[in-house]
Structure 1
Amino acid sequence: MRAYQGVLLLVAALAVFTFYYLGSGKENFSSTTRRIKENQAAQSTSTEQDVASSSELKLNEGKSKNMDSHSPLDYHVLMMFTNVHRNTGLRDKFLVAVSSLVKYGKLESNEVLSLHFVSDEPSKDIGKALLRDLLQGASFKYKVIFHDVNALTEKLFPIVEAMQKHFSAGTGTYYSDSIFFLSVALHQIMPEEIYRIIQLDLDLMFKTNIRELFEEFDNFMHSSVIGIAQEMQPVYRHTFWQYRRENPNTKVGEPPPDGLPGFNSGVMLLNLEAMRQSKLYNQLLEPNAVRQLAEKYHFKGHLGDQDFFSMIGMEHPELFYVLDCGWNRQLCTWWRDHGYMDIFDEYYRCESQIKILHGNCNTPILKE
């Protein structure tokens, strides 16, 4: 019997070796391990989960259960969906973003797109009604999870309070402004079982399969924690004016390809696991670190998380994987008519295939 058990153990070991090292080559050991971990993704008890098939949105309350190794692989997407009941423009943007995502979205049969929406109660009711129609034509499996904006704000405020005075439009720190820094501390708020998530603005239109965007995670360098596209206007040339005047040879605020134009937060790939493990990134969240960098760069912004990422990106570019401009083709031209016409095109130019259009600063996106 012992000899028979030994043979079985040997066969099992050889099978594991063959799978990891002599397999199809599509996955290596680390990527396979990551997929197994993601298969076990679960939502926290503070969220309301609406589980849906490709043809029906089921609005069920309750906690989610851990997935076993036979469960589908989750891709996680997060969007802000607040104050929609007061702003019909946000509703229209939501319709364009989700309908285009559904139009081009294609996943494997064992994959699920988990759609997270941060919302208030009135907006959540609107979102549920819209999603029933928008997701009917989806060719992929999906889940819908609503997160209460007030609950998230309560968790966020202690983490980001110190940085708000540097990156908010108002003077001082405002409790309600904390939600604009959600991506900065999302790794401390989302369940640890969720390893990667893409955060998107509402004012987007997809022109390709969102699954291709998730594949960009595979291009991250070892030190990368966030994937984000560069800002396509001279926003930070303007914001860093004093630092640039004191440092005339700096690349800070200069246009691509050699400059550091800052980032645009309309499309962000957040490697939550890497964010949790990065000692450097978490040190940069500390109030003293934020204050020191803001003083060094004479920084005063008003764009929330985008300002924070742009500032630390000047100091630590290794933390960021720069997405191609085609993944966040920003359409806003405000700065062209406000003092920067002579150099505007150096920032605005994008010769790549357009995969996501971004109608920032309320720029209309022409419907197909």
Structure 2
Amino acid sequence: MVGRLCALRSHHGLLLLAVALAVCALYYSGSEPKKHSSSSKEDQAARSPSPESEPGPALSKSMQEQLNMQDLHLLMMYTKADKSPALGAKFRLALGSLLRSGKLEASEVLNLHFVTDEPSKEVAKTALRDLLQGVPFKYKVIFHDVNTLTEKLFPIVEAMQKHFSAGSGTYYSDSIFFLSVAMHRIMPKEIPRLIQLDLDLKYKSNIRELFEEFDNFPINAVIGVAHEMQPVYRHTFWQYRRENPDSKVGSPPPDGLPGFNSGVILLNLEAMRQSKLYNQLLEPSEVQRLTEKYHFRGHLGDQDFFTTIGMEHAELFHILDCVWNRQLCTWWRDHGYREVFDFYYRCEGHIKILHGNCNTPIPED
């Protein structure tokens, strides 16, 4: 990757050259993603919103600013886009609204991670050339190959797939739907925090504010996530609820345990790596114990896993306000739960992210 600050005048000496080469590799000017070859097979792009100063005495100041940069990491999955025009429209709506409403400090860089297959990566690059035009803050674009990540994930999450996947068995390709569960084991240790986002979102507030939610995590929390806003888990835990009529499992907020929605997930990767409890819960024996105890069989991947462990270990989670994941789907209202639906669905406050789950149209205004 070529940095815009790499040009040095020879009379500055070898020491200044060595320092510059160490820190200048991240940024270049322009909106089109730049190719990057590495052992991780990732493509990266970075942009600085204004020209840098000329080489000379001001260079060392710019280099110091580079050393003090703070990286903010977002990740989205974008696969099979070449076969789904609707997915491309969601991509443009999500990224367009995120970038338009985003405001970052001069010392911050928004890292946009995309998990893609090869055709989807090309579709994304085309869209990003337009979407990133005129963005007034620094950013990087990083592509991760979905097959490479799946290969890493499969041994970790294979045991839980039979409980939390839509298929009747354990499918290798299903592993990617559990990426957030084991993100702390997949991403480099240099990334301490990351937010994973669905594509069917529309941003109505500055994404930087969502990163500030990490500061509100309780001491033992490793994940930030909003409640599920439909009686999905009231339905899924029906047998356990029948056997335990006084349980809060599957009941609506504020006093119940309605489960989680994984459309917006804050992952404190460093805390996940250090949490003995969380990593124990990834073990097949623990997954088996919990799913048997709660008679659980789901199909929503990571969301089902987080919901299940949250029934016993609420301390692992920071509950995001519903305004950060205002789900619009109303499917369960018309499928047996009309009388209790609004207890789950209501959300008061200024909406910051709209979530068009189950293909619900997102309002244009």
Q: Residue 51 of structure 1 aligns with which residue? A: 45
Partner of 2:312: 315
SS of 2:291's partner is helix
8 A contact 2:328–2:355 mirrored in 1: yes
Match of 2:228 in 1: 231
Q: Distance in 2 between matches of 1:44 and 1:217?
A: 31
In the TM superposition, residue 46 of structure 1 has moved relative to its aligned partner by 1.2
Contact 1:47 / 1:145 at 8 angstroms: preserved in 2?
no
Partner of 1:268: 265
List aligned pairs for 1:113-262, cutoff 5 A: 113-262=110-259
Helix, strand or coil at the partner of 1:127: helix
Query: C-alpha displacement at 1:353, in angstroms?
Result: 1.2
Q: Which residue of 1 aligns with 2:60?
A: none
* 1:157 counterpart SS class: helix
Deviations 1:310-358 (A, max 9, x none): 0000010000000000000000000000000000000000012100000
- With over 3 angstroms needed to count, the CA separation of the structure-2 counterparts of 1:68 and 1:165, relative to structure 1, is farther
Offset at residue 301 of structure 1 (A): 0.1
SS at structure 1 position matched to 2:266: strand
Paired residue type of 2:109: V
Once residues 93 and 71 of structure 1 are traced to their aligned partners in structure 2, the CA distance between those partners, rounded to angstroms, is 34
Q: Any conservation in 1 of the 2:65–2:107 contact (CA below 8 Å)?
A: no
Structure 2-normalised TM-score? 0.85
Contact 1:48 1:146 in 2 (8 A): yes
Q: Which string of whole-angstrom CA distances, capped at 9 and with x for unpartnered residues, describes residues 61-84 of structure 1? A: xxxxxx997242100000001011
Structure-2 separation of matches of 1:129 and 1:69: 28
Name the aligned partner's letter for residue 42 of structure 2: E
What is the aligned partner in structure 2 of residue 92 from structure 1?
89
Distance in 1 between residues matched to 2:196 and 2:97, nearest whole Å: 16
- Corresponding residue pairs, total: 317
1:55/1:135 contact within 8 Å kept: no
RMSD: 1.7
Mapped to 2, the partners of 1:204 and 1:277 lie a distance apart of 31
CA shift, 1:302, in A, is 0.1
Shift of 1:47: 4.1
Instruction: Look up the SS of the partner of 1:269 in the other structure.
Output: strand
CA distance in 1, matches of 2:85, 2:256: 38
Q: C-alpha separation between the residues in 2 aligned to 1:173 and 1:71?
A: 45
CA distance, structure 2, for counterparts of residue 278 and residue 163 of structure 1: 19
Q: Given residue 157 of structure 2, which amino acid in structure 1 is its aligned partner?
A: V
Q: In 1, Cα distance between the equivalents of 2:38 and 2:301?
A: 25
> What pairs up with 1:283-294 in 2 under 5 angstroms?
283-294=280-291
Distance 1:99 1:69, change over 3 A: closer
Match status 1:325 vs 2:322:
yes
Identity of aligned residues (%): 72
Q: Which moved more, 1:321-330 or 1:71-80?
A: 71-80
Q: Identify unmatched segments of 5+ residues in structure 2.
A: 1-25, 27-36, 51-63
CA shift in 2, pair 1:209/1:135, >3 Å: same
Check if 1:74 corresponds to 2:71. Answer: yes
Q: Does structure 1 conserve the Cα–Cα contact (< 8 Å) formed by 2:73 and 2:194?
A: yes
For normalisation by structure 1, the TM-score amounts to 0.84
Distance across 1 between alignment mates of 2:75 and 2:354: 17
